[in-house]
Amino acid sequence: VFPDRVSACDAAAERVAHALRSAVATRGQAILGLATGSTPEPIYAHLVKLHREGTLSFANVATYNLDEYYPISPLDPNSYRSYMHRHLFGAVDLPANRAHVLDGTVPESAAAEHAAQYDRWIAADGGLDFQLLGLGRNGHIGFNEPTDLSAEAAMRLPTRLVDLHPTTRADAAKDFGGESRVIPRALTVGVAPILAARSILVVAFGPNKAESVAQSLRGPITAQVPGSLLQAAPGTVTWILDEAAAQAL
Ligand code: F6R
Ligand 1 in reach of 136 Cβ (< 6 A): yes
Nearest-angstrom CA–CA distance, 48 and 173: 28
Nearest-angstrom CA–CA distance, 247 and 243: 6
Helix (H, G, I), strand (E, B) or coil at 183: coil
Which domains are delineated in the chain? 5-241 (3.40.50.1360)
C-alpha pair distances (Å), 21 with each of 51, 60, 164: 12, 10, 35
**Predicted confidence pLDDT, tens digits, the chain (249 residues):** 999 999 999 999 999 999 999 999 999 999 999 999 999 999 999 999 999 999 999 999 999 999 999 999 999 999 999 999 999 999 999 999 999 999 999 999 999 999 999 999 999 999 999 999 999 999 999 999 999 999 999 999 999 999 999 999 999 999 999 999 999 999 999 999 999 999 999 999 999 999 999 999 999 999 999 999 999 999 999 999 999 999 999
Ligand 1 in reach of 142 Cβ (< 6 A): yes
Per-residue pLDDT at 234 = 98
C-alpha pair distances (Å), 56 with each of 36, 39, 62: 20, 21, 14
Ligand 1 in reach of 33 Cβ (< 6 A): no
Per-residue pLDDT at 89 = 98
C-alpha pair distances (Å), 76 with each of 70, 218, 226, 236: 12, 38, 28, 35
244 close to 208: Cβ distance less than 8 angstroms: no
143 close to 168: Cβ distance less than 8 angstroms: yes
Ligand 1 in reach of 67 Cβ (< 6 A): yes
Per-residue pLDDT at 215 = 98
Active site (catalytic) residues? 67, 138, 140, 145
Per-residue pLDDT at 132 = 99
Per-residue pLDDT at 25 = 98
Ligand 1 in reach of 140 Cβ (< 6 A): yes
How many A from CA of 81 to the centre of ligand 1?
14
Q: Is the peptide bond between 95 and the residue preceding it cis, with omega within 30 degrees of 0? A: no
Q: Name the pTM for this structure.
A: 0.98
Per-residue pLDDT at 225 = 98
C-alpha pair distances (Å), 73 with each of 87, 90, 144, 187: 18, 18, 22, 13
Atom of ligand 1 nearest to the CA of 209: 16
How many A from CA of 26 to the centre of ligand 1?
30
238 close to 201: Cβ distance less than 8 angstroms: yes
DSSP state of 29: -
Per-residue pLDDT at 23 = 98
pLDDT in tens, 164-200: 999 999 999 999 999 999 999 999 999 999 999 999 9
Q: Which residue's alpha carbon is at the smallest distance from atom 4 of ligand 1?
A: 134
DSSP codes joined into one string, 48-92: HHHHHTTS---TTEEEEESEEEES--TTSTTSHHHHHHHHTGGGS
Atom of ligand 1 nearest to the CA of 205: 16
Ligand 1 in reach of 227 Cβ (< 6 A): no
How many A from CA of 172 to the centre of ligand 1?
10
